[in-house]
Amino acid sequence: MTEEPEIQETPEPEAAPKSRGKIILLAGLLAGVFLLAAVGNYFHLKATYVPPEPAAGPTHDEVEAPLMVIDLGILGSEVSGDSLTAEAASLPDSVAPVAAMSPEDSLKLVLQQLETENRAKDSLLAAAAEPPASQTKADPAGTDSTGLKRSAKLAKIVENMEPEDAARMLEPLSDDIVIHILLRLKQRQAAEVMAALPPSRAAGLSRAIMEPVVQRQ
């Protein structure tokens, strides 16, 4: 009988799987160490962080714009002449003369200006209300050259007035003079003045102004 040769079994390699497992374990340990170090540094920096102090100096909210206060003592406060002179020196030329005056003189100056303006208006109103001596019965409306000049002067005054003030000034005048003045104004301004007049007076003036137009038609 022939003997069959024995087949020797080769052992499986175990070194490679063991070395691979060690490498994976070592890599995991290194990653864990780095992660723990990063977390530790983060909490350390957070615990030891000190915010910077703000820069010295006034903030935007604390800065106030300079104010110019002029106390003329009109309400009874005592103001010396030296203080008024010092304040007047720092003012523009148009304001300095008034500020340099005493409170009493400033009040007198304002009253004089108002009185002068009132006298000028009163004289014009009186001249407009009284017909000229040369006016005849054939010219009852005062349409002569003197009346037209008077109406032109009043129209100049009315142009620079508010509608309510102009209506109060024109109310005591005759319809003829008021019509001459309104016709010299711009259409919009004349309409505003008439709107400020009493309704009955405005209606009468409107009819008087429209009569020549209706007659021409």
CA 159 to CA 137: how far, in whole Å?
A: 31
Residue pLDDT, tens place only, 191-201: 999 899 999 99
- Give me 134's structure tokens: 């040369």
- Give me 186's structure tokens: 């711009």
Residue pLDDT, tens place only, 28-49: 888 887 787 887 777 777 777 7
pLDDT of 26 strictly over 70 = yes
Nearest to 202 by CA among 184, 178, 181: 178
Greater pLDDT, 150 or 214? 150
pTM for the whole thing? 0.36
Query: Could you give the C-alpha distances from 76 to 4, 94, 104, 107, 128, in angstroms and in order?
Result: 142, 25, 11, 13, 43
- State residue 34's pLDDT score: 79
Residue pLDDT, tens place only, 124-162: 566 555 554 444 444 444 445 666 777 788 888 888 888
Percent of the chain with pLDDT over 90: 4
CA 194 to CA 204: how far, in whole Å?
A: 10
DSSP state of 79: -
- Give the list of residues 6+ apart from residue 77 with CB closer than 8 angstroms, or none: 71
Total H helices, total E strands in the chain: 9, 0
Each domain of the chain, given as residue ranges in start order, spans 84-128, 147-217
